[in-house]
């Protein structure tokens, strides 16, 4: 076993892990920029619709509504009771349902504030995730773990790319606790072997491993 194979392998995993971590942060930043833009346009539309309906702005908000609603997740739903009604909607999607009501003029300031609050909370959550991602970018141990996680997830991603499994199923599998635990253990084991190979030498480590598993 050549020590350079181990060095190249470790560097490769670190590189993949760094790229994966950076890409994850980049997607968070993109989501934040979109949420901030949507909030600003929503506030402008909500504050001026009584003075004159802005059809172009309403079209943009409606067109991008499903996207922001999906990204908001739990932040974008609430229990909602219509004005003067004796019933309540559970898991009411705030953005996609409030926009038509704003246009028709039956919405009140509390409903508009609920949409704004949902967007602000989501942006705050993204800010926390971006801060955590910046910390991960400075941690080589995280690079190593994420590199192994990406490599282990590659077969699942290939199946998804070819349409053999659904994207939701692939995401659920690669985000599950069992997968993350296995990826972390593989990263820990590999990093330990890399250190031993550097200290003992590749040949000596090979002999040690063979003796441990009874392979002569």
**How many domains would you assign to the chain?**
1
What is the rounded CA–CA span in Å between residue 65 and residue 169? 24
Model confidence pLDDT, tens digit, residues 169-210 = 777 777 777 777 777 777 677 666 666 665 666 566 566 556
Burial pattern 170-183, b for ≥16 Cβ within 10 A else e, equals beeebeeeebeeeb
210, part of any domain:
no
* C-alpha atoms less than 13 angstroms from C-alpha of 84 in its C-beta half-sphere: 3
Examine residue 211 and state whether it is found in any structural domain, yes or no: no
61-118 confidence digits (pLDDT tens): 999 999 999 999 999 888 777 666 677 778 889 899 888 877 776 666 777 888 999 9
**CB within 8 A of 35, min separation 6: which ones?**
68, 71, 119, 122, 123, 126
Residue from 9, 5, 7, 69 nearest 34 by CA: 69
Q: Which pLDDT belongs to residue 68? A: 95
| 196 located within any domain | yes
CB crowding 66-104: b at 16 or more within 10 Å, else e:
eebbeebeebbbbebeeeeeeeeeeebbbbbbbbeebbe
213 domain-assigned:
no
Residue 39's domain comprises: 3-204
**Residue 111: per-residue pLDDT:** 79
Question: Using CA atoms, how far apart are residues 190 and 5, in angstroms rounded to an integer?
Answer: 13
Neighbour count for residue 22 (Cβ, 10 Å): 15
Q: Per the domain annotation, does 116 fall within a domain? A: yes
Lowest-confidence region among 47-56, 166-175, 207-216: 207-216
pLDDT digits (tens, 9 = 90+) for 30-41: 999 999 999 999
Q: Report whether 21 contacts 137 (CB < 8 A).
A: yes
Residue 215 lies in a domain: no
The answer to whether residue 177 is domain-embedded is yes
């Amino acid at each position: 076993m050549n020590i350079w194979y181990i060095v190249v392998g470790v560097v490769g995993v670190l590189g993949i892990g760094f790229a994966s971590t950076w890409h994850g942060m980049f997607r968070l930043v993109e989501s934040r920029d979109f949420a901030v833009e949507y909030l600003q346009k929503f506030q402008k539309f909500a504050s001026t619709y009584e003075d004159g309906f802005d059809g172009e702005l309403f079209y943009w908000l409606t067109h991008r509504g499903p996207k922001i609603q999906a990204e908001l997740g739990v932040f974008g739903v609430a229990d909602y009771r219509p004005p003067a009604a004796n019933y309540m909607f559970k898991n009411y999607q705030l953005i996609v349902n409030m926009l038509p009501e704003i246009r028709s003029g039956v919405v009140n300031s509390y409903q508009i504030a609920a949409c704004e609050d949902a967007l602000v909370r989501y942006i705050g959550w993204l800010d926390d995730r971006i801060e955590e991602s910046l910390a991960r970018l400075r941690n080589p141990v995280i690079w190593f773990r994420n590199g192994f996680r990406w490599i282990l997830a590659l077969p699942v991603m290939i199946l998804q790319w070819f349409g053999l499994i659904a994207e939701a199923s692939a995401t659920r599998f690669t985000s599950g606790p069992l997968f993350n635990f296995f990826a972390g253990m593989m990263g820990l084991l590999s990093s330990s072997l890399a250190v031993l190979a550097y200290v003992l030498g590749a040949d000596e480590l090979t002999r040690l491993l063979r003796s441990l598993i009874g392979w002569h």
